[in-house]
Amino acid sequence: MQSGRSANYFDLAVAECGIFIWVENLDAWMRNAYRVLRNGGKLIVSDFHPLSIIAEEKDGIVTFRKSYFNQHPQTYQPEFWGDEENAPPAVEFLWKLSDIIDVAIQTGFRIDCVEEYYVEQESKRVPPVSTDFLLVATKV
């Protein structure tokens, strides 16, 4: 482990809204979060639920654009996300929620809370899958 300000320095690390889909190496990401936290420091992640990333609903019917268990990276053109025409293609990584939790535990975090929830969009009805999740973990 490194010494100085780059290690064991922070009480809180927060990541939110679309982090893990861009992370190619989940182990390295989690190790770095662990490294910068002091003992007892908290990792708080609020991100899109992996199921919501691949699910589409139309007229009450849910379909999936790929298998939840197919974790091969996929390349998307900018127009898929509605980006400008000159933006480069994006590579997307799909991690199962259990992957994220397992890597946090293996890294040394104690899981304090995992919550799956939905963020209301235009309609007031409950969607068929979680849209987001919250993970709170402590460096022990």
- Residue 66 reports pLDDT greater than 70: yes
Q: Report pLDDT for 82.
A: 58
The pTM is what? 0.82
Range of the domain at 75: 10-139
SS3 at position 113: strand
Does the residue 85 lie in any domain?
Answer: yes
CA distances from 34 to 37, 42, 44, 114 (A): 6, 9, 12, 18
CA distances from 57 to 61, 64, 127 (A): 5, 9, 9
Does the residue 3 lie in any domain?
Answer: no
Gap between the Cα atoms of 1 and 55, Å rounded = 40
Domain at 74, CATH number? 3.40.50.150
- Residue 3 reports pLDDT greater than 50: no
Does the residue 102 lie in any domain?
Answer: yes
- Residue 6 reports pLDDT greater than 80: no
Does the residue 70 lie in any domain?
Answer: yes
Q: Report pLDDT for 59.
A: 79
Does the residue 4 lie in any domain?
Answer: no
- Residue 80 reports pLDDT greater than 60: no
Does the residue 116 lie in any domain?
Answer: yes
Does the residue 84 lie in any domain?
Answer: yes
Q: What does the pLDDT look like over 97-140, one tens digit per residue?
A: 999 999 999 999 999 999 999 887 666 555 678 889 999 999 99
- pLDDT-wise least confident of 5-14, 15-24, 28-37, 74-83: 74-83
Token match 């409950």: residue?
Answer: 126
Band of pLDDT at residue 7, cut at 50, 70 and 90: confident
Does the residue 5 lie in any domain?
Answer: no
Q: Per the structure, how many domains does the chain have?
A: 1
Q: What does the pLDDT look like over 21-47, one tens digit per residue?
A: 999 999 999 999 999 999 999 999 999
